[in-house]
Structure 1
Amino acid sequence: MPMRHRVLLAIAVTVIAGAGAFPAPAPAQAPPLTRIRVVHVPVLIFAPLYVAIERGYFRQQGLEVELIGTPGGVSSFVVLASGRSEVVIGGLGAALFNAVARGLDFKVVGPVHMERPPVSTPLVASKKAYDSGEIRKVSDLRGKKVSVNVLGSATEFWLQAALHKGGLTMEDVEVIGVNFPDVPAALANGAIAAGLLGEPLATLAEDRGQIVRLSDDFIDGVQVTAVYYSGEFIRRDPNLAVGFMVAFLKAARDLYGNGYKRTDVAKIVEKYTGVPATVVRRASPPFHEPNGKMNFNDFKRLQDFFKKRGSLTYDKPLPPGAYIDTSFVRQALQILGPFKPPR
């Protein structure tokens, strides 16, 4: 082999051998997650939140979610407006309208669920009272104590609908507040004659022989829960606020149709509510709007209801634009595209 070729070959071997001496470039690191605090009540109707956490949808959007449990009502908005949380998943109650009237810094940005028969928050009575004949129908509740989970909450609107269907009004009963997990015990000890009980707790109590459903078809298509953002979160992290909505709607779409019947979904709900997955799969599921559409007329109906109940602290009705911001849903849909039901 000519000397020139031998030299070139030696150089090539040296280069190839030395290639391994240089470290491979380090893989690009994902940016750190931003922690946000989300106020919630651990019940079935808020399952999109739990599904989005467990399936990593929030992490895909750069978010790490810290959950803050609360019974709902006024406390949720105080936590939100005081800067102690960025997001609330909660009901559309008197507390919402009063907080807006006070000028608290937050917006309603999307829907969570709507009730369709059979509703996921039925009116129940104790099985003992039912079997004895004391309470067999809604009209038997006249003059008795009936519970909602929080006074002034959306469940009061549901109770009115259930009573109306049974020929009663809110004035025909004494309405008191009892948190959902405490309803079966309150029924058993006679503290209440009936109460609203959210799924999957209703099915669990039914399995245990504690309750019967007096009414579960009193609401059809009314939106009574929503996603709320603090004003600070909106101004500080608008892109993350859009990301939260993207993750939430992805999870809502996962629950469309028979989503709640899936074993993996039921196990997620079990993790966050403590109710066995086998019970979750048999519970009456809520409906989650897969495109995030909000019904402004439902807000008006609720505001009028709480005005008549004397629960509002102001006189002039609030226009929806004073407290609703649909821009985050619109931007999320630009990313996700419109939902197409599976065939």
Structure 2
Amino acid sequence: MSAVAMLAVVSGCGLLGGSEDKPSNEAAAPGKVEKSKIKLGLLPILDVASVHVAIKKGYFKEEGLEVEPVTITGGAAAIPGLISGDLDITFGNWVSFYAAEAKGTASKVDGLKLINDGYQAKPEMFLIVTKPDSAVKTPKDLAGKTIAINTFKNIAELTAKATLQANDVDPKSVTFKEFPFPEMEAAVKNGTVDAAFMVEPFITKAQRSIGAVTVLDAASGPTDGIPVAGYGTTGKFAKENPNTVAAFQRAMAKGQRDAADRPTVEPLLVEYAKVDKETASLVHFGEFPTSLDATRLQRVATLMRTYGLLDKDFDVKPMLVTGSGS
């Protein structure tokens, strides 16, 4: 999973605004897909609702694709699967994709390519929460405490650090500990961690089951409207399967569009995220962008540089692959 920039920006624009940059790589025009069955890495979270919408409504099938969902714990953890070929495409947060590309992690497979935007932050969907009887009541109380995140050096860590600093808390004073999202509620309840960085539907589930209370909204202030995550593959896969990538993009454009409709998404959350109907009806939605915007996504890389998650400036444009429907 999206200071973080000490930069005031409007949604849909990056840094201080400006027109959309055109990515350098173009996916192929419509044609017969090279690979009809693809393995897609996904988390059981609201952010990937568009995939399940596209499956349910037959958008992938219309494009000649069959999608096999593969559960992952986070974007960083999925990247080795892309490199090995165990995954064809994966959902992941922008921080993990950029960090891996900057390090040359996927150089043997022609690097990493980003093919679809996925999710953008809105209030109440990126929360650091704790149990109701915790001594942690305010952001300043998090100093010296332990916070659960799903994977290190990802969008959760980045936005947590930015909003902690914005609330006069030294990010270095906080200890982050890895927990899969489904295990965070128990970790907070039994005191294994002092707080947890949760996303939907786990926020609403924890609020209803243990009375979890919000300490800090990590999608506020310097991180308001921050791009969160999307879908990536390897340069090798994109080059060898351009029509497959383009077909995936067209199906996802429809899924992203429809994912903004709560009545469409809520029953799917019950199925793939394993939450009850009432919880699904209460979750807070982020935004599901329908295009890859280099200017908007560059904002994340700039914030990573600010908070030490990148050693030098990083241009995201060479990673982007656009095509019909993306």
TM-score range (shorter-chain normalised) is 0.7 to 0.9
What's the counterpart of residue 277 of structure 2?
277
Secondary structure of 2:133's aligned partner: helix
Amino acid paired to 2:54: A
* 1:285–1:192 distance in 2 versus 1, CA, 3 Å: same
Cα distance in 2 for residues equivalent to 1:171 and 1:143: 9
Cα distance in 2 for residues equivalent to 1:44 and 1:201: 9
Shift of 1:322: 3.5
Matched, 1:332 2:292: no
* 1:73–1:254 distance in 2 versus 1, CA, 3 Å: closer
* 1:288–1:73 distance in 2 versus 1, CA, 3 Å: closer
Cα distance in 2 for residues equivalent to 1:180 and 1:165: 25
**Native 8 Å contact 1:266 1:278 kept in 2:** no
Alignment of 1:93-132 (within 5 A): 93-94=95-96, 96-102=98-104, 103-105=107-109, 106-118=112-124, 120-129=125-134
Secondary structure of 1:65's aligned partner: strand
Cα distance in 1 for residues equivalent to 2:46 and 2:297: 24
What's the counterpart of residue 222 of structure 1?
226
What's the counterpart of residue 302 of structure 2?
301
Cα distance in 1 for residues equivalent to 2:184 and 2:211: 10
* 1:245–1:317 distance in 2 versus 1, CA, 3 Å: same
What's the counterpart of residue 11 of structure 2?
none
The number of equivalent residue pairs is 287
* 1:78–1:223 distance in 2 versus 1, CA, 3 Å: same
Shift of 1:65: 0.4
1:317 is aligned, of 294, 297, 313, to: 313
What's the counterpart of residue 17 of structure 1?
none
* 1:291–1:95 distance in 2 versus 1, CA, 3 Å: closer
Shift of 1:320: 2.0
Shift of 1:305: 4.1
**Native 8 Å contact 1:187 1:193 kept in 2:** yes
Cα distance in 2 for residues equivalent to 1:188 and 1:154: 24
**Native 8 Å contact 1:77 1:96 kept in 2:** no
Shift of 1:79: 0.6
* 1:239–1:33 distance in 2 versus 1, CA, 3 Å: closer
What's the counterpart of residue 79 of structure 1?
81
Matched, 1:89 2:82: no
Per-residue CA distance 1:158-188 (angstroms, 9 max, x = gap):
2113313432121121122122111111112
What's the counterpart of residue 37 of structure 1?
39
More helix per residue: 1 or 2?
1
Alignment of 1:89-238 (within 5 A): 89-94=91-96, 96-102=98-104, 103-105=107-109, 106-118=112-124, 120-129=125-134, 134-216=135-217, 217-218=219-220, 219-238=223-242
**Native 8 Å contact 1:51 1:265 kept in 2:** yes
**Native 8 Å contact 1:148 1:177 kept in 2:** yes
**Native 8 Å contact 1:108 1:226 kept in 2:** yes
Cα distance in 1 for residues equivalent to 2:169 and 2:233: 37
- Structure 1 window deviating more from structure 2 (179-188 vs 162-171): it is 162-171
Shift of 1:222: 1.1
**Native 8 Å contact 1:108 1:324 kept in 2:** yes
Shift of 1:253: 0.8
Amino acid paired to 1:40: L
Matched, 1:248 2:252: yes
Shift of 1:97: 2.1
Cα distance in 1 for residues equivalent to 2:39 and 2:96: 23
2:48 is aligned, of 29, 46, 49, to: 46
Secondary structure of 2:245's aligned partner: helix
Amino acid paired to 1:279: T
* 1:300–1:212 distance in 2 versus 1, CA, 3 Å: same
What's the counterpart of residue 21 of structure 2?
none
- Sequence identity (%): 23
* 1:303–1:71 distance in 2 versus 1, CA, 3 Å: same
Relative to the length of structure 1, the TM-score reads 0.77
Shift of 1:316: 4.5
Q: Structure 1: where are the runs of 5+ without partners?
A: 1-30, 334-343
- Highest Rg: 1 or 2? 1
Shift of 1:104: 4.8
**Native 8 Å contact 1:157 1:305 kept in 2:** no
Shift of 1:49: 1.0
Shift of 1:242: 0.9
Amino acid paired to 1:114: Q
Cα distance in 1 for residues equivalent to 2:53 and 2:277: 14
What's the counterpart of residue 26 of structure 1?
none
Per-residue CA distance 1:89-140 (angstroms, 9 max, x = gap):
111224642344322533012211110113x1211011221xxxx1211111
* 1:299–1:166 distance in 2 versus 1, CA, 3 Å: closer
Cα distance in 1 for residues equivalent to 2:96 and 2:246: 27
Q: Structure 2: where are the runs of 5+ without partners?
A: 1-32
* 1:47–1:228 distance in 2 versus 1, CA, 3 Å: same
* 1:221–1:173 distance in 2 versus 1, CA, 3 Å: same
